[in-house]
Amino acid sequence: MFLQGQTEGVNAPGVNVPMPPVYTIGHPPGVNEVYTTPPTGYVAPQVPAVMPVLDRPMGCPVGLEYLTQVDQLLVHQKVELMEVLMGWETNNQYVVKNSLGQQVFFAAEESHFCSRMFCGSVRSFLLHIQDNMGQEVMTLSRPLKCSSCFFPCCLQELEVHSPSGSPLGYVTQSWHPYLPKFIIHNERKEPVLKILGPFCDCKCCSDVNFEVMSLDESSVIGRISKQWSGFEAEAFTDADNFGLQFPMDLDVKIKAVILGACFLIDFMFFEHTQKQE
C-alpha cells in the first residue's frame, strides 16, 4: 500500500519553492524508502532547455565565434521593389546563411541618396553586419574610388573593422589591364592571400568564380562564386547570390575579410541591371 508523504517548502522572502513529494511504503515510523519510479499520474516539473553557448577562441573578435566552425557561407541579396519598378538605386541588404540555409548574419548598407544616384556602383558606403540578435559584429568601409583599368592610382579599397573601430583586415585591388585581382591583408596591413577573377565576369547561365589563392598564386585555398540566379533576376534586378568557401582552420579575421571581399566584388562587377542601364 502506497502512502504519499507531505510536501515541504522552502520559504524565503517573496519565494516559495516547493519540494517534490516523497513516495514511501509502509514501514515502522522513521523509516522511509524513496522509489525511483513515482506512481502513475505524477508529473515531473519541466526544466527549460538551455541553448549551448559557443566558446570564443583566443583572438576571436566578439560576435564572430560562429565563423570558427564553418568552411562555407551563402550570401543572398534582397530584392528591392523600388529598384525593380523605378530603377532607383536603394541601400543594399544581404542575408548571410550557412550551408543548411540558416541565417547567421544580416548586412545593411548605409550610403547617401545622391551618392547612389550619381556614383552608382563605385559609391562609398558603410556596410553594417549584424548577428541574429541585432548586435553589430563588424563594419565594412569603402571610400569613393575610380573603378577603371586606366586609373591605377585610384584602385578599390575596403576596410573591415570591429564595431569598436579596431581593424580586422583590408581588401585592396591590384592593378591589372584585364583581370580582377585583389590582395587580402591582415589587421597589420600585411598581405596574406590573393583573389583572382576571370577575364570576363559575364557568363550566361553559369557561375562566375573568383579564386582565393596563396600569395605566390601557386595554390587555390578558397573561392567566391557569383551564382546564376535565373534570367529574370539577372536581367531586371541586381539582387545577386554568392557562395563562399575557405579552409575551416583559416584565421577567423581573414574569413571575415573574405566575406567583405565578396561584397566589394558584388558592387564592382554585378551592381547593375539592364533596366538601370
Q: What is the pTM of this model?
A: 0.72
* More reliable by pLDDT, 109 or 30: 109
More confident residue, 186 or 201: 186
Q: Say how far apart CA 194 and CA 200 lie, in whole Å.
A: 18
Q: What is the pLDDT of residue 40?
A: 56
Average pLDDT (192-207) is 78
Query: Which secondary structure element, helix H or strand E, spans residue 119, and what is its range?
Result: helix 113-119
Measured from the Cβ of residue 222, the count of other Cβ atoms closer than 10 Å reads 20
Q: What would the pLDDT profile of 24-79 be if each residue is shown by its tens digit?
A: 444 444 444 444 444 555 444 444 443 345 566 777 888 899 999 999 999 999 87
Pick the CATH number of 65-270 from 1.10.3470, 3.20.90, 3.30.410, 1.10.357: 3.20.90
The arithmetic mean of pLDDT across residues 130-150, rounded, is 84
Range 152-165 burial, b when 16+ CB lie within 10 A, else e = eeebbebbbbbbee
pLDDT of 126 over the 90 cut: yes
Residue type, 42: Y
With bands split at pLDDT 50, 70 and 90, how would you rate the model's confidence at 9? Answer: very low
Judge contact between 246 and 93, C-beta under 8 A.
no
